């Protein structure tokens, strides 16, 4: 086999491996979406529990990078404190070691078997859970199959003198050789942007006898440093606490590697004694049948020991990252603040993040409401102009946030998910649209008042209108309570309240028609007041829609 054939075969195997990892990860995320939401919502300040949360979530999503990017996003959004975030990141490093054990199974025997077992339910399953299970099995099979292709492709290199001479330095047993392997593992992981893929390549090289256990273990240490670049990139443009969470991931892994590097020979000896069979034993075919389990064990021992070491030191780690990313004045921004690529975010966590953003969206709308309420009673032309411009600014902010939330959630919907999650995301999109519509009608009310120019609403009309406006806003806040937390709104009660407001609006309209009949108001004033009442009726309708969608969000879709 020529070097070119080896290269494209390895790339093909890596592609199959990547696809298997993505299929398995996406399917697990979709199947366990409600579990992930409950795990995240149960977070406390207890550092040990935070570590367990990070371990559990990463075991489900099968990617420490996804977990850490999610954590950075949560910290940036104010959903998670820095101490909690660091604890979750420590746990994420433990959870990611499961991947090593999955791919350390004797791949030659089980790859096609899992593909065969998984493809039928994945394609023809008649419910979400069966389809999801089939996709998980299919993904595992693709992982095994891809690794087998890579391992077989590497075998001809065992007799390629030039290649063996090129990597001979990495197979040495001195600290210089170990350090070179660590740097190489770190660099390649940064380039590939996947520690799981690099771990797969490392195991494939080791299984085929190209590299020994010492080299593989050092490469794995470097991969643990390289994987932290994902969170660092995600924190670019984020607030200070989000940067600190990303730095904590890097500091934790780098310090762990430094500590382990100082006792590296003893660490290798410990793994050798714990796992059956000699790591570097080579069979008659030139393969190393025991080395994969040794690499997986080395990966696990490093991350578990590292986490246990740093859990008691969590306050010191927090102080260190605070020093690395000191407080600075940050402008408060009224915009969607989620970070990272929505396509890389777990659907369950994207729902939590977007729901949190809707609450902040509502807070901006609340400020807009109070500004509009104030604007109605102003009489100074100069002050009116200033406050009206502020209302227009609020409307622009609301337009931007609604657009960004919608784009974020639409990208999220491209991910693998169950029907229930899809319904929840559609409801979130609808709620964002309803909030933006309420903002439009608040702007319309201010614009109608501006249309009057020198003619003012009488004290009687102003009192009547603001009273109804306050009733509508109170209704809106009640409808939105279902979005803000675990509060469950009573739809029957909402409909009764909505009908009451509708009757009140009709009463105000009839009363106003009587005034017009008595020619108490000019045609422009009468029409304007009627339009303002209509705007409030529309706001009532949008509020009711929000309440109806909150029911979908609060429904447990685990069985969907």
Q: Which CATH code fits 342-554? A: 1.20.58.220
Q: Dihedral sign, CA of 424, 425, 430, 432?
A: positive
Question: Per-residue pLDDT tens for 300-354?
Answer: 998 888 888 888 888 888 888 888 888 765 544 444 555 555 556 777 778 888 8
In sequence order, which residues have a C-beta less than 8 Å from that of residue 446 and are 6 or more positions away? 372, 375, 376, 388, 391
Q: How high is the pLDDT of residue 334? A: 46
Mean pLDDT of 123-135: 83
Q: How high is the pLDDT of residue 429? A: 93
Mean pLDDT of 368-395: 89
- Higher-confidence residue of 307 and 46: namely 307
The whole-angstrom separation of Cα 370 and Cα 347 is 35
Q: How high is the pLDDT of residue 476? A: 94
Mean pLDDT of 245-271: 88
Q: How high is the pLDDT of residue 389? A: 92
Q: How high is the pLDDT of residue 333? A: 47
In sequence order, which residues have a C-beta less than 8 Å from that of residue 184 and are 6 or more positions away? 170, 219, 222
Tell me if 136 sits within 8 A of 157, measured CB to CB: no
CA dist 55 to 49, 69, 224, 317, 423, Å?
A: 10, 15, 16, 19, 28
- In the three-class reduction of DSSP (H, G, I as helix; E, B as strand; rest coil), residue 336 is classed as coil
What would the 3-class secondary structure string for 74-120 be? HHHHCCCCHHHHHHHHHHHHHHCHHHHHHHCCCHHHHHHHHHHHHHH
Mean pLDDT of 50-71: 78
Question: What's the length of the chain?
Answer: 560
pLDDT band at residue 506 under the 50/70/90 scheme: confident
**pLDDT beyond 90 at 372:** yes
Q: Kindly give the residue spans of alpha helices, DSSP state H, lying in 168-290.
A: 175-192, 195-207, 213-226, 229-234, 240-262, 264-274
Q: Is the pTM of this model over 0.85?
A: no
Q: How high is the pLDDT of residue 394? A: 92
Least confident range of 212-226, 241-255, 358-372, 389-403:
241-255
pLDDT band at residue 29 under the 50/70/90 scheme: confident
pLDDT band at residue 108 under the 50/70/90 scheme: low
The whole-angstrom separation of Cα 413 and Cα 410 is 5
pLDDT band at residue 132 under the 50/70/90 scheme: confident
- What are the extents of the domains in the chain? 3-324, 342-554
């Amino acid at each position: 086999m020529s070097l070119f054939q080896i290269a494209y075969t390895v790339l093909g195997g890596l592609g199959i491996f990547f696809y298997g990892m993505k299929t398995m990860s996406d399917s697990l995320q979709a199947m366990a979406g409600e579990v992930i939401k409950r795990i995240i919502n149960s977070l406390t300040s207890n550092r040990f529990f935070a570590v367990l949360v990070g371990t559990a979530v990463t075991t489900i999503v099968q990617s420490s990078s996804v977990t850490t990017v999610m954590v950075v996003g949560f910290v940036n959004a104010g959903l998670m404190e820095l101490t909690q975030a660091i604890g979750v990141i420590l746990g994420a490093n433990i959870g990611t070691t499961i991947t090593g054990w999955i791919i350390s199974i004797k791949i030659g025997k089980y790859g096609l078997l899992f593909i065969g077992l998984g493809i039928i339910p994945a394609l023809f399953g008649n419910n979400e859970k069966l389809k999801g299970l089939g996709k998980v099995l299919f993904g595992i099979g693709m992982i095994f199959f891809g690794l087998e292709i890579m391992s077989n492709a590497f075998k001809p290199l065992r007799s390629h003198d030039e290649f063996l001479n090129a990597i001979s330095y990495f197979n040495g047993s001195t600290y210089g050789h170990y350090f070179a392997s660590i740097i190489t593992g770190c660099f390649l992981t940064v380039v590939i942007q996947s520690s799981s893929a690099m771990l797969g390549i490392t195991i494939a090289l080791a299984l085929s006898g190209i590299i020994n256990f010492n080299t593989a273990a050092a490469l794995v240490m470097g991969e643990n440093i390289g994987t932290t670049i994902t969170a660092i990139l995600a924190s670019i443009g984020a607030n200070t606490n989000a940067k600190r969470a990303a730095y904590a991931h890097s500091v934790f892994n780098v310090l762990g590697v430094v500590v382990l590097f100082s006792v590296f020979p003893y660490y290798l000896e410990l793994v050798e004694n714990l796992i059956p069979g000699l790591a570097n034993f080579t069979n008659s075919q030139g393969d190393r049948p025991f080395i994969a389990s040794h690499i997986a064990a080395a990966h696990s021992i490093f991350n578990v020991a590292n986490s246990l070491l740093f859990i008691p030191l969590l306050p010191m780690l927090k102080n260190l990252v605070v020093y690395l990313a000191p407080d600075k004045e940050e402008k408060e921004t009224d915009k969607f603040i989620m970070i990272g690529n929505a396509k890389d975010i777990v659907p369950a966590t994207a729902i939590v993040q977007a729901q949190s953003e809707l609450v902040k969206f509502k807070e901006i709308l609340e400020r807009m409401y109070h500004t509009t309420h104030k604007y109605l009673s102003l009489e100074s032309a100069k002050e009116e102009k200033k406050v009206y411009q502020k209302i227009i600014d609020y409307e622009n902010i609301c337009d931007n946030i609604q657009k960004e939330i919608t784009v974020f959630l639409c990208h999220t919907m491209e991910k693998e998910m169950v029907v229930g999650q899809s319904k929840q995301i559609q409801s979130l999109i609808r709620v964002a649209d309803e909030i933006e519509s309420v903002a439009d009608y608040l702007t319309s009310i201010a614009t109608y008042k501006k249309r009057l120019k020198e003619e003012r609403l009488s004290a009687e009309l102003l009192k009547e209108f603001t009273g109804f406006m306050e009733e509508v806003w109170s209704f809106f806040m009640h409808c939105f309570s279902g979005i803000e937390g675990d509060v469950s709104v009573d739809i029957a009660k909402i409909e009764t309240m909505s009908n009451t407001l509708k009757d009140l609006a009709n009463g105000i309209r009839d009363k106003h028609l009587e005034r017009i009949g008595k020619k108490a108001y000019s045609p422009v004033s009468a029409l304007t007041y009627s339009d303002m009442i209509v705007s409030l009726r529309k706001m009532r309708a949008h509020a009711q829609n929000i309440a109806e969608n909150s029911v979908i969000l609060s429904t447990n879709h685990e069985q969907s």
